[in-house]
């Protein structure tokens, strides 16, 4: 195998942006902008799309631009928030709607430019209100906003049912000075409707595509947030995770995902799956970007009891932990239980383990989670999600105003049956039906499953191996290279490493670790509750020591880049991959990730 060549992205200085962006007109309530230069496919013989054949997108200065760079330009008045917002809107029009049409943004904020102009005036008169002042951020369409945008979880059933107030994380975005640029598409109902769903598809938004290869899954359920950040359609984005839905799209689209400890960020105003596992986190192209956004989300919230546990533990600035030498002296365990389903992912993570040692970490290999086998066979996680989904969704729907077409899960099931052509053209709602059969959260069966989940994932799982081996973190492949989108059979889920932390409510940070045949793979850093500072430090040091992210190529369906044929590209790859054992779950059609 060939090692991945170092590749640094060149970009123009942000000072060149100037008035050109300000000249881009906005259409209120629309995602398309007049006069935007658009990508368009160039076809080869017999109508076959040529590899990499897309015209340049507008405002290439934004490609891979970091939040720190944007803030510097904004605060030095070299760039206005209005110019920056208009430039991102132009990229959304050219890349998301036209050109490769990755379909990651379900709706742009019709007030985005007005908000940006107000923030420009505020910056000039009183200075920045917070660390994201004037920076455009996208949020997932299950995060409520009390504005002119919808909050639907991708479902037609919630059109017009706008919440009475912002979700707490959306309100904190505004308080930090961010421009909420729009909402991102997702796997409908956060991928908790059918066991045969296609990640990234929703009845309202259609199918989101992976910008690295347009026929490959963007994974779920925060697929739109991940794709938009990968394509530089915003500085960063918010996603949600119940089990895998922040880290999985991050892994297959070469971005950083931070899935926080349950309770570090508020879920108030977020369309739920399950309160014991749901969490709101961040997507960025760098660890620094994802960490900067995370710090503006945290803090206790009386609307979400789980956040009370974060008192004294939550930070407001996680960028303090960005140490490029942060791996020196760290003890990193290799969770071998979560290898073996993808030769390509394993090879890339093996190379990453070599890089961890080179960067000063002490690697303990193996560092297996004692309960891994029991978790894989135990039905408890899914049972808890079914119970909590019914209870939590009914509470959310009941609080909606009279404009809501559905007020209970039972109503929603009926709505989907009555609108099956629009809502269920490819897969059904068997998970909804299973949840509807569940009793209240006082059922002893539910309480027993919940306690067992926390034991398996936490005390006897992650905590046990980390205590025994005195570890700072565990590492494992985030998942496999992305499989092809298949709305007929559903996702091909080979395996992932998110479930122990999901069941325990613990954090994960995933970072790009290379690509296989041009398709990205991530490595996950997994830790104890509220260990975000440690994980951010370790992940940043790995990122800076390897620099394996590369921007997307928007490869047409069926295309494999010639340079990638036969190549897996990562850090210091071994000559041959290690021997592998087949995973018993390989080839299983399942949603794989929730949230």
Backbone angles phi, psi at 106, to 5 degrees: -80, -25
CA-wise closest residue to 98 among 180, 36, 186, 43: 36
DSSP per-residue letters across 184-212: E--SHHHH-S-TT--TTEETTTEE---TT
β-strand partners of 510: 257, 524
DSSP per-residue letters across 99-150: TT----EEEE-TTHHHHHHHHHHHHHHH--SSTTTT-EEEEETTB--SSSS-
Count of C-beta atoms within a 10 Å radius of residue 463: 17
Rounded CA gap, 168 and 400, in Å?
16
**Side-chain-facing half-sphere of 174: CA atoms under 13 Å:** 15
Active-site residue among 80, 81, 104, 140? 140
Rg of the chain over all Cα atoms, to the nearest angstrom: 22
Characterize the bridge pairing of strands 49-54 and 105-108: unpaired
Active site residue 245: yes
DSSP per-residue letters across 153-176: TT-GGGTT---SS--HHHHHHHHT
Rounded CA gap, 384 and 115, in Å?
41
Active site residue 140: yes
Active site residue 221: yes
Active-site residue among 81, 245, 266, 352? 245
Cis omega (within 30 of 0) on the bond before 458?
no
Characterize the bridge pairing of strands 473-477 and 362-364: unpaired
Under a CB-based contact definition with an 8 Å cutoff, are residues 526 and 506 in contact?
A: yes
Cβ neighbourhood burial of 517 (10 Å; 0-12, 13-18, 19+): middle
Active-site residue among 80, 199, 221, 310? 221
E-strand ranges in 392-507 read 473-477, 492-493
Under a CB-based contact definition with an 8 Å cutoff, are residues 267 and 245 in contact?
A: no
Rounded CA gap, 184 and 326, in Å?
33
Cis omega (within 30 of 0) on the bond before 366?
yes
Rounded CA gap, 253 and 11, in Å?
20
β-strand partners of 519: 516
List the catalytic residues.
Answer: 140, 221, 245
């Amino acid at each position: 195998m060939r090692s991945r060549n170092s590749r640094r992205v060149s970009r123009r200085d942000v000072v060149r942006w100037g008035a050109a962006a300000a000249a881009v007109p906005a259409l209120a309530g629309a995602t398309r902008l007049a006069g935007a230069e658009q990508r368009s496919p160039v076809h080869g013989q017999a109508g076959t799309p040529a590899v990499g054949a897309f015209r340049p997108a507008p405002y290439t200065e934004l490609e891979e631009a970091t939040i720190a760079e944007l803030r510097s330009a904004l605060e030095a008045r070299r760039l206005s928030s209005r110019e920056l917002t208009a430039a991102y809107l132009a990229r959304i029009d050219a890349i998301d709607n036209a050109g490769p049409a990755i379909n990651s943004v379900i709706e742009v904020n019709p007030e985005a430019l007005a908000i940006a102009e107000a923030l420009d005036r505020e910056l000039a008169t009183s200075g920045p209100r917070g660390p994201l002042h004037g920076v455009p951020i996208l949020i997932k369409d299950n995060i409520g906003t009390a504005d002119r945008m919808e909050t639907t979880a991708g479902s037609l059933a919630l059109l017009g049912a706008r919440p009475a107030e912002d979700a707490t994380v959306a309100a904190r975005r505004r308080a930090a000075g961010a421009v909420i640029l729009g909402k991102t598409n997702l796997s409908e109902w956060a991928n908790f409707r059918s066991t045969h769903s296609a990640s990234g598809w929703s009845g309202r938004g259609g199918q989101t595509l992976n910008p690295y290869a347009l026929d490959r899954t963007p994974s779920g359920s925060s697929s739109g947030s991940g794709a938009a950040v990968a394509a530089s359609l915003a500085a960063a984005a918010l996603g949600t995770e119940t089990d895998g839905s922040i880290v999985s799209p991050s892994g297959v689209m070469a971005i950083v995902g931070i899935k926080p400890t349950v309770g570090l960020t508020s879920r108030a105003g977020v369309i739920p799956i399950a309160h014991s596992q749901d969490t709101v986190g961040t997507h960025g192209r760098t660890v620094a970007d994802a960490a900067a956004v995370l710090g503006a989300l945290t803090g206790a919230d009386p609307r979400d009891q789980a956040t009370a546990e974060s008192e004294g533990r939550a930070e407001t600035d996680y960028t303090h932990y960005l140490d490029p030498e942060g791996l020196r002296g760290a003890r990193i365990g290799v969770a071998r239980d979560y290898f073996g389903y993808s030769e390509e992912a394993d090879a890339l993570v093996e190379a990453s383990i070599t890089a961890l040692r080179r960067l000063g970490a002490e690697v303990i290999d193996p560092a297996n989670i004692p309960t891994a086998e029991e978790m894989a066979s135990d039905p408890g996680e899914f049972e808890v999600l079914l119970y909590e989904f019914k209870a939590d969704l009914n509470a959310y729907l009941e609080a909606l105003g009279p404009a809501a077409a559905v007020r209970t899960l039972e109503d929603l099931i009926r709505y989907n049956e009555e609108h099956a052509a629009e809502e269920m053209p490819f897969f059904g709602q068997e998970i909804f039906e299973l949840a509807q059969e569940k009793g209240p959260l006082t059922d002893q069966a539910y309480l027993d499953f919940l306690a067992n989940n926390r034991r398996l994932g936490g005390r006897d799982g992650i905590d046990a191996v980390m205590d025994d081996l005195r570890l700072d973190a565990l590492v494992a492949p985030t998942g496999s290279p992305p499989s092809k989108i298949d709305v007929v059979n559903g996702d091909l889920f080979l395996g992932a490493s998110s479930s122990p932390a999901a069941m325990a409510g613990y954090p994960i940070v995933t970072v790009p670790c290379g690509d296989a045949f041009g398709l990205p793979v991530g490595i996950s850093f997994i830790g104890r509750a509220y260990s975000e500072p440690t994980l951010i430090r370790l992940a940043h040091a790995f990122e800076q020591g390897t620099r394996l992210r590369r921007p997307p190529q928007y490869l047409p369906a069926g295309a494999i880049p010639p340079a990638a044929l036969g190549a897996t590209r990562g850090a210091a790859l071994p000559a041959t991959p290690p021997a592998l054992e087949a995973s018993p779950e390989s080839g299983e059609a399942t949603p794989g990730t929730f949230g």
